[in-house]
């Protein structure tokens, strides 16, 4: 299985000092930056776009940036995120008219591709495109907001996807997003996840100038 990665979701960071917040979590041991893009259309919230991704790169962030697109339509924003320095670009199958085309577009732009599954979205969307994804992201909350509770049914879904990936022999990361905290991360890992998004479980835990305030969850892995 792949090395475990901790992916702080900057949705819960202080946007007035985003560069410092990201520096702090990376210094504390986080591996990749989870970047939640919401459009007030596909989900009922509005967040950040390619300009902010580019600003993090200009600030000096070299860690992978994991762009989670909760936007519809999805294709036209992909080249902008590639140019802005995205490493992974993941999207929800419900937001794309042509899933295969969108996956090819992401890889064609030089990024790693991924599909995101809401709690009630069936895994059948993977049936014909497994060889075109670098990451599968399972939502353990309904998308749109940080700070929600983990939906336990995601554990069975994780086990099913873990088996699917292992049986395929493909190099695909299995990411979980929503309600991941210090007290459930071990159980989530045991169900098969290897990439752990956490927003409210990591940010806002203490003084933003002290990298050690992020140790509680990052220190688990």
Instruction: Say if residue 139 is exposed, middle or buried (CB neighbours under 10 Å; 0-12, 13-18, 19+).
Output: buried
Q: Is 177 a residue of the active site?
A: yes
100 annotated among ligand-binding-site residues? no
Strands (E), the chain: 5-8, 33-38, 65-70, 88-91, 112-117, 135-139, 173-177, 195-198
68 part of the interface to Zn ion, by CB under 5 A? yes
Smallest separation (angstroms) from Zn ion to the CB of 163: 24
Q: Is 36 a residue of the active site?
A: yes
Q: Name which of residues 174 to 193 contact Zn ion (CB under 5 A).
A: 177
177 annotated among ligand-binding-site residues? yes
36 annotated among ligand-binding-site residues? yes
Question: What is the C-alpha separation between 194 and 185, in angstroms, rounded?
Answer: 10
How many beta carbons lie within 10 A of that of residue 9, not counting itself? 23
Which residues contact ligand DX5 (rule: CB under 6 A)?
9, 11-12, 34, 36, 68, 141, 143-144, 146-148, 177-180, 197-201
Q: Name which of residues 11 to 40 contact Zn ion (CB under 5 A).
A: 36
Residues with a catalytic annotation lie at 36, 177
Which residues would be at the binding site for Zn ion (CB under 5 A)? 36, 68, 177
């Amino acid at each position: 299985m792949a090395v475990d990665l901790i992916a702080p979701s900057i949705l819960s960071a202080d946007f007035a000092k985003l560069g410092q917040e990201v520096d702090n979590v990376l210094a504390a041991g986080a591996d990749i930056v989870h970047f939640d893009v919401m459009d007030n259309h596909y989900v009922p919230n509005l967040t950040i776009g390619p300009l902010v991704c580019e600003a993090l790169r200009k600030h000096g962030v070299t860690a992978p940036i994991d762009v989670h697109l909760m936007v519809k339509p999805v294709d036209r924003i992909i080249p902008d995120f590639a140019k802005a320095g995205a490493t992974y670009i993941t999207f929800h199958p419900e937001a794309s008219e042509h899933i295969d085309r969108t996956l090819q577009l992401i890889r064609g732009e030089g990024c790693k591709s991924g599909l995101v599954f809401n709690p009630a979205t069936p895994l059948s969307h993977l049936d014909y495109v497994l060889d075109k994804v670098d990451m599968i992201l399972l939502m353990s909350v309904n998308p749109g907001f940080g700070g929600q509770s983990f939906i336990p049914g995601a554990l069975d879904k994780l086990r099913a996807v873990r088996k699917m990936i292992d049986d395929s022999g493909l190099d695909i990361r299995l990411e979980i997003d929503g309600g991941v905290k210090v007290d459930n991360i071990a159980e989530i890992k045991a169900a098969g996840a290897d990439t752990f998004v956490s927003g409210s479980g990591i940010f806002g835990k203490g003084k933003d100038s002290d990298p050690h305030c992020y140790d509680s969850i990052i220190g688990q892995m």
